[in-house]
């Protein structure tokens, strides 16, 4: 990521803006950074500090000579990501060694990428930056690969393609199935979450990001986040950060094909960039295809010396088959197969789980996004204003127990931020405040799943939601000492309303014979029960942090903070009383007219937390480290429960839980040609004296997650990278801690070679040793040993590709 140049007089304002709007760009991570201290600007608006007077006058998007208004004229905030040459060549992946230490004055470094990283690291909380160079070239680009060296971010692949992996930070949203809560996901500074906080993680495209900013825990409050886990900000490049044309094509195992095009320009006070990519694959398993098409564009204009604006637009179309889980026996025998449901024996049903072959679960989602961001810098004052709108069309064909769910609607976000930074040598503003308001509505339909097709409708309604987030914070230097006191306060108000519009007196049901699972039983119906609700939630979240910089390359902090996260509509409404062979409202397939509710609408409370955390970041010669430890006391943690067949039981509030963790990242440059990175995440999440679950571990959270990369650079144009993903301990699948996923270690090897100034070739071998393992699992409350809950990871794969830049 990039930061403001050294000597700029607006870093604080930039930082403030960055904190509010999360966007990071290629040339100036701060331009789209969400970090206070980094210029917070929408997608491409970069409020960067002017460079020293000796610097040449920038074209669009570059910083102007130091402090001369004429020189700053027409300067456009740059995008995010690593710096690029004027020829637009893609930067080579950076070595894993630590970044150079900041200057003794603590002022932002002259290099934009380093300056932005400095501002992020100056925040008294868990943060990380993953740049495009660090992600490298991928034949099968996935979110788990992009974030594998980001400590504290746990990404578990579900089906291996452009699907919906399980992603969680500090355990928030861990048990949501499908996972759609717990973190705020932003793109170029504005959320892709719906107004109720839910999101489709497959819409986040790491292949179109120049950098990904990670904010763990309370530090994301300044971005308008209302999630205990934190926030991820995907920063797009701009025409200033990535001029020229860039084309790539790659492919490989299991029908994988990827193509991408990017073109950027800058001229006078205007820059612009367009991106498009298409990917598809047949998949490792027999019912496992996925495809994604995505296009985006942004244009930046320097209106005056002080005011800059950027417009952006994007569209993503995502689809993937839900291959479903296997039981342990089938996973070991053939992980590529898909499950066919329970087996009826004279002694009862065994091997509970969904019939994927019959029900053909699938998700198809599209999202249109448009936004604008304007930033003004007036001396020590920075004002940032942004507007954004998303329209999402989402169809999820669940197994028969939940049916087909359709959701169509739009969400509007407005954001206003102000920052005050009288000391230009400071990395953070003295004062920052922001207000973000998101409001949205959608229509929802529920249909029965009949042999993988949309059947009779059994429910419909209107979803309305709004979330107001207010934040104010100070960064007070304590006299002339290297200590900074950072108090802050956040307030959130959220509404969640559902109006049931289903007017018929009964809700239809369907069922198949458990003994002959492809034979339909007579249709049934159950009485219609109104499932409308109106909920509102309010929460204050204060925090107090103390940081200490004993030397320019050492930073220590401690913080105590509150946390607040309201439930989403998917928490507040669940389809229930289905089975692997019958629809919601029909717990007994043979009793088509037995009264049973099809929906459950629990009156849930918001989950809240009190967290203590401390961290130490440092660099010494060729070593760097970033270690954060936290302990959270959580009240009313939101848990999404499922029975032994995987059928939803609805959400509950756990009485009290605790989350303890360690998030550690290390980098080392061992020699001129050998470097490495290590990310270690420790998680111990537990119930506290729960009447049913005692002090058990929360299901689905691996205790140890280790990601490591080792890079060999035999020549300037050639590199070889080995990567490892290792979970050395078994992970509970159920909250009763009776069934566990086994430990695993997966090794990958890839290489890149720059053939010429314009062409780079790359190749990769994934899962070299063809490990058979569960990359993730379903999460249930009480499991059976023969239950289908394990989601197989990809076997050995081969990929190759070509990138051309002009």
**Mean pLDDT in residue range 392-409:** 96
Q: Are 190 and 653 in contact (CB under 8 A)?
A: no
Q: Dihedral of the CA atoms 356, 449, 411, 144 (nearest 10)?
A: 0
Q: Is 399 in contact with 449 (CB distance < 8 Å)? A: yes
Six token digits for residue 394: 């989402």
Length of the chain counted residue by residue: 806
pLDDT at 115: 65
R_g over Cα of the chain:
26
Mean pLDDT calculated for residue range 532-542 = 97
Helices (H) and strands (E) in the chain, counts: 9, 42
User: What is the Cα–Cα distance from 541 to 552, expressed in whole angstroms?
Assistant: 31
Query: Do strands 704-715 and 674-687 pair parallel, antiparallel, or not at all (unpaired)?
Result: antiparallel
Query: Tell me: the pLDDT tens digits for 439-479?
Result: 999 999 999 999 999 999 999 999 999 999 999 999 999 97
Q: Would the pLDDT of 54 be above 50? A: no
Average pLDDT of the chain is 85
Q: Which residues pair with 554 in a beta bridge?
A: 551, 618
pTM of the model: 0.86
| pLDDT category of residue 116 using cuts at 50, 70 and 90 | low
314 falls in which pLDDT band (50, 70, 90)?
very high
Spatial contact of 46 and 376, defined as CB atoms under 8 Å apart: no
CA angle 703, 709, 713 (to 5 degrees): 175
How does residue 95 score in pLDDT terms, banded at 50, 70 and 90?
very low
Per-residue pLDDT for 757 more than 70? yes
Are 712 and 669 in contact, with CB atoms under 8 Å apart? no
Rounded CA separation 246/805 (Å): 4
Q: Tokens 């009240």: give the residue.
A: 635
Residue (of 64, 5, 13) closest to 35 by Cα position: 13
Give me 533's structure tokens. Answer: 């609700």
**Is 280 in contact with 291 (CB distance < 8 Å)?**
yes
Amino acid 453: pLDDT: 97
Strands (E), 290-361: 290-302, 307-321, 343-345, 348-350
CA 689, 691, 696, 699: dihedral to nearest 10 degrees? Answer: -130
Distance CA 729, CA 744 (A): 8
The angle, 0 to 180 degrees and rounded to 10, between the axes of the packed helices 11-20 and 112-121 is: 70
Query: What percentage of the chain exceeds 70 in pLDDT?
Result: 85
- The pair of three-digit structure tokens given for residue 15, joined into one six-digit string: 């930082």
- For 717-733, write each residue's pLDDT tens digit: 999 999 999 999 999 99
Confidence class for position 1, pLDDT limits 50, 70, 90: very low
Cα four-point dihedral sign 570, 575, 578, 584: negative
> Residue 64 — very low, low, confident or very high, per pLDDT cuts 50/70/90?
very low
How far separated are the first and last CA of the chain, in Å rounded? 23
Task: Name the token pair of 195.
Answer: 């107004």
Q: Which pLDDT does position 247 carry in this prediction?
A: 95
Phi/psi for 423 (5° steps) reads -105, 105
Q: Residue 415 and residue 539: Cα distance in Å, rounded?
A: 19
* Three-state secondary-structure class, residue 341: coil
């Amino acid at each position: 990521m990039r930061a403001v140049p050294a000597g700029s007089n607006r870093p604080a304002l930039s930082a403030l803006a960055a904190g509010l709007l999360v966007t990071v760009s290629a040339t100036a991570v701060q331009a789209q950074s969400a970090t206070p201290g980094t210029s917070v600007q929408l997608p491409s608006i970069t409020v960067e500090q002017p460079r020293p007077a000796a610097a040449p006058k920038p074209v669009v998007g570059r910083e102007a000579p130091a402090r001369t208004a004429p020189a700053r004229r027409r300067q456009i905030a740059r995008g995010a990501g690593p710096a690029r040459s004027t020829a637009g060549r893609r930067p080579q992946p950076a070595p894993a060694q630590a970044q150079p230490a900041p200057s003794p004055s603590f002022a932002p470094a002259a290099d934009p990428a380093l300056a932005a990283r400095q501002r992020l690291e100056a925040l008294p909380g868990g943060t990380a930056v993953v740049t495009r160079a660090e992600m490298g070239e991928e034949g099968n680009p996935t979110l788990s690969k992009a974030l594998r060296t980001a400590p504290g971010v746990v990404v578990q692949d579900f089906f291996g393609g452009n699907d919906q992996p399980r992603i969680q930070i500090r355990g928030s949203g861990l048990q949501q199935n499908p996972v759609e809560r717990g973190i705020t996901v932003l793109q170029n500074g504005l959320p892709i979450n719906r107004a109720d906080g839910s999101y489709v993680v497959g819409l986040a495209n790491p292949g179109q990001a120049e950098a990904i900013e990670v904010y763990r825990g309370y530090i994301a409050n300044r971005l308008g986040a209302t999630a205990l886990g934190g926030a991820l900000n995907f920063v797009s490049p701009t025409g200033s950060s990535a001029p020229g044309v860039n084309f790539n094509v790659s492919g490989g195992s299991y029908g994988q094909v990827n193509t991408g095009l990017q073109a950027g320009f800058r001229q006078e006070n205007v820059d612009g960039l367009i991106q498009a990519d298409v990917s598809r694959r047949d998949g490792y398993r027999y019912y496992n295809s996925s495809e994604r098409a995505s296009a985006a564009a942004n244009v930046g204009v320097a209106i005056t010396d002080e005011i800059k604006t950027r417009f952006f637009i994007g569209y993503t179309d995502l689809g993937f088959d839900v291959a479903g889980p296997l039981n342990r026996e089938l996973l070991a025998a053939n992980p590529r197969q898909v499950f066919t449901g329970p087996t009826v024996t004279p002694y009862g049903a065994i091997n509970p789980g969904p019939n994927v072959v019959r029900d053909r679960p699938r998700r198809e989602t599209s999202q249109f996004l448009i936004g604008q961001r304007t930033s003004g810098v007036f001396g020590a004052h920075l004002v940032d204003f942004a507007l954004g709108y998303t329209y999402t069309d989402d169809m999820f064909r669940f197994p028969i127990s939940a049916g087909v769910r359709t959701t169509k609607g739009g969400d509007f976000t407005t954001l206003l931020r102000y920052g005050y930074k009288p000391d230009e040598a400071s990395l953070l503003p003295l004062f920052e405040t922001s207000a973000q308001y998101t409001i949205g509505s959608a229509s929802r339909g529920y249909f029965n799943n009949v042999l993988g097709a949309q059947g009779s409708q059994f429910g419909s309604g209107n979803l309305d939601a709004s979330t107001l987030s207010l934040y104010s914070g100070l960064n007070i230097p304590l006299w002339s000492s290297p200590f900074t006191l950072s108090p802050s306060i956040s307030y959130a108000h959220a509404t969640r309303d559902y109006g049931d519009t289903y007017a018929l007196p009964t809700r239809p049901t369907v069922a198949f014979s458990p003994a002959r699972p492809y034979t339909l039983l007579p249709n049934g119906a159950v009485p219609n029960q109104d499932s409308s609700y109106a909920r509102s939630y309010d929460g204050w979240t204060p925090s107090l942090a103390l940081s200490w910089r004993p030397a320019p390359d050492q930073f220590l902090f401690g913080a105590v903070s509150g946390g607040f996260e309201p439930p989403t509509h998917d928490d507040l409404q669940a389809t229930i009383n289905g089975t692997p062979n019958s629809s919601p409202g029909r717990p007994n397939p043979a009793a088509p007219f037995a009264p049973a509710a099809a929906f459950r609408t629990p009156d849930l409370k918001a989950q809240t937390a009190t967290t203590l955390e401390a961290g130490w970041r440092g660099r010494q010669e060729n070593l760097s480290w970033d270690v954060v430890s936290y302990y959270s006391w959580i009240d009313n943690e939101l848990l999404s429960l499922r029975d032994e067949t995987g059928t939803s039981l609805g959400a509950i509030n756990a009485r009290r839980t605790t989350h303890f963790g360690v998030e550690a990242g290390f980098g080392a440059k061992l020699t001129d040609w050998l470097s490495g990175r290590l990310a270690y995440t420790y998680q111990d999440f537990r119930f506290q004296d729960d009447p049913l679950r005692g002090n058990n571990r929360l299901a689905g959270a691996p205790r140890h997650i280790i990601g490591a990369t080792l890079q060999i650079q035999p020549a300037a144009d050639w590199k070889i990278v080995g990567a490892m993903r290792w979970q050395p301990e078994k992970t509970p699948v159920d909250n009763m801690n009776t069934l566990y996923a086994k430990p695993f270690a997966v090794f990958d090897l890839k290489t890149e070679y720059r053939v010429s100034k314009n062409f780079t070739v790359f190749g990769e071998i994934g899962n070299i040793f063809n490990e058979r393992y569960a990359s993730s699992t379903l999460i249930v409350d009480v499991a059976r040993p023969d239950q289908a809950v394990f989601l197989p990871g990809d076997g050995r794969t081969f990929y190759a590709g070509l990138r051309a830049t002009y």
